[in-house]
Amino acid sequence: MASSTAPVVRHARREDVPAILGLIRELADYEHALSSVEATDATLASTIAFAPSDPSIQSPGPDGLPITEPVSPSKPARCLVLTTPQGDVAGMALYFYNYSTWRARPGIFLEDLYVKQSERKKGYGKRLLVELAKEVEAMQGGRLEWNVLKWNEPSIKFYESEAIGAQMMSEWVGMRVDGEGLPKLAKLLD
């Protein structure tokens, strides 16, 4: 792969799947949850909308919107990858679209942002967030949001910094139904 002088942020291509899975596993290990990772190359390949493998097709496009396979209920996610000047994948931002009823506008929910430990303090996380913010603006969206673990103080400080400007939403509590609770809820009124 050709070397440049700056990192590149682009939408993931199918051939990036092993690197994406590696980053997911590193993130899970950092969060002390490696045994919880169920993702595989095959499941990622079937659930992420990828950019074309042809490197001459740049995504995002000139309008700031992604050039990828279409998103759908079975393929809801997109992924930005950041490659180093040497061409190695060093970080990712895996995301999907959400909607604000009060604003009646789309938005982006960042499922996972991760930069390899060895590549931190180089502005890579900031670059990934900037690209997501540009996409929200390009689609005339209303917000970019994500969750962060309460104990992850370095990330919280980074997100709340003047550069990023995120605000903690202390009035909201995340809720989730998964595992055995999901089919139980689905059959609740049967």
**Which residues belong to the active site?**
159
Instruction: Copy the structure tokens of residue 18.
Output: 């092993």
Q: How many CB atoms lie within 10 A of CB 124?
A: 21
3-state SS class at 12: coil
Tokens matching residue 48: 């992420």
Which residues neighbour 123 within 8 Å (Cβ) at sequence distance 6 or greater? none
CB 60 within 8 A of CB 134: yes
Contact 85, 29 (CB under 8 A): no
Q: What is the full DSSP assignment across 128-148?
A: HHHHHHHHHHHTT--EEEE--
Distance CA 181, CA 178 (A): 5
